[in-house]
Chain A
């Protein structure tokens, strides 16, 4: 297993820059997620690590070796494709052992490895079947088998659960994570599904328009997003944004929004002009309307079993509150919003970046 380090990696396709100079390190044995919307450069980054695309500039270090311009075969990594890419003219056994044949492994060695992999994945009974008739889950297992059989330095996975039914995804996600914990392989996993990323990843790199916006463990990214994009992309429903004209000084712990003073974490960065206050729905409480709070009118209420999502229209935009299902809010009702001061992030609307405060300092300092 190995550490993967990306240094100033860049990829241009003609005039289009798919990946802008990104740098990050994937630790040995880590389950690392590349998360972002389609076209954000996450798959291109993965393919460059794999050697399926050559970088325009920058370096890729795998296990202390610079491999940026090397052929895929020389990098000793395994790749799991979204469409599995099982060789359709071979059966399960042939698919799994194909990488070993290229290494010139002997017959006995191949048989032993095959048996081991089949046992780990629980596919002993389908080894002689053609891959065409397999279910999505079994295809996925075979694709994983083909990847792990070689004991590569790292696994690269391009939305490996994307082609599965929702029901099956859940299970394969668990299996995948369990498999990772068992063989402790460095894994780079590309997905556009933020839930998948949070569920499985040790750390997540959120990408947007060819740039890495933030890297960190799921909870840090969720709680203290580095940018409006991350705050919006992660979480369902997304973070609430209240935009306003105002200013905040370094050391200040209060911000004025439309005549209401809202307590916030002590700020380290000053900000002025168009600002955005971000707060997660679970940190919004509904109160009787009063002049000391931001006020609004309930425009929708969705029941979700254990919780309820209430949408409130305010002068600064709509706000969603996640409240216990037992509480209720009638549509048309006037409410005052109670925002948890400890969970608020201020953003500069112009740059989209979060302003540093005592609350998010630790998270954003190393990101």
Chain B
């Protein structure tokens, strides 16, 4: 070869790029890896100094996370039957017994219900609203769109006190419905704006063709627009879920029992039996999984969604 293409990077450039990307990835993954590994350390390994990178893995953190335990005296222990399961044995070795399940499972379930519930609602309402804004002559459309967006012009927590009072009045405090509505309200502006952009990119001719082919407006929307907007809907859903899943401040303020999500619950583990870092790390690790799985499932769409409309096909 006598020369190289201007647009195609050279081998050397590709190498440099690869090294940079890998270095960056490693750096941002270190805290995450640290949390994951801490979850598998024994409590003493977790706080040892200098920190241990190589350690004997233990599931103690996970057992502590999912159970509540009571200390027993050796006399009492003698009266108990021998431990039946591996986790009972693990607890017994510390001179304790399992008193019952912890509330982590239930808090986790709350997070799933509230996170996915509000994501579904945000995307569902957002798609319909975005479609209307994109296709119909809505009076004062631009003002409405600006108005919707203005809810994002301050940190949501700025309205914490009014919402706290409102929720107390309406009986929505510490309810699943209340949290779903709250996160939906916060996410809706984002989802309307994102989805409007995606739907604007879909040529009207597709629906018009369907209208002429004998379909109603709603059928055209469902069978022609929705499949086209799938990438946009998927990436919007990911953004909405990440917000609702990770939200901490409102969750602390508005939930304490019934509807408490995992983020405010995880720090409370610290106090349960000394500073149980492995249990906290285990809780955080498990908490990562649903969003990670969801994102990986929609990854193909996410990439397409982000670059949507960049290149005119």
Contacts and interface: CB of A to CB of B under 8 A. Distances in A.
A257 interface: no
Contacts of B208: 50, 52, 72, 79, 81, 85
B212 interface: yes
Contact of A99 (B203, B213, B224, B228): B213
A89 B228 contact: yes
Contacts of A102: 213-215, 219
A85 B205 contact: yes
A89 B227 contact: yes
B211 interface: yes
Interface string A65-86: 0000001110001110101010
A203 interface: no
B-side interface mostly: helix
Most chain A CB within 10 A, of B214, B215, B216, B313, is at B214
Interface residues of B, number: 17
A88 B208 CA distance: 14
A72 B203 contact: no
Nearest to B207: A85
Nearest to A74: B214
Contacts of B146: none
Interface string B195-232: 00000000101101111111110010000100110000
Contacts of A72: 208, 211-212
Contact of A50 (B203, B206, B212, B313): B212
A146 interface: yes
Nearest to A47: B208
Contacts of B212: 50-52, 72-73, 77-79
Contacts of A83: 203, 205
A87 B211 contact: no
16 contacts: A50-B208, A52-B208, A73-B212, A73-B215, A77-B212, A79-B209, A81-B208, A81-B209, A83-B203, A85-B206, A85-B209, A87-B209, A98-B210, A102-B214, A132-B313, A146-B209
Given A79-B208, A79-B209, A99-B214, 13 more contacts: A71-B211, A72-B208, A73-B216, A77-B212, A78-B212, A81-B208, A88-B206, A88-B228, A89-B228, A102-B214, A102-B219, A103-B214, A146-B213
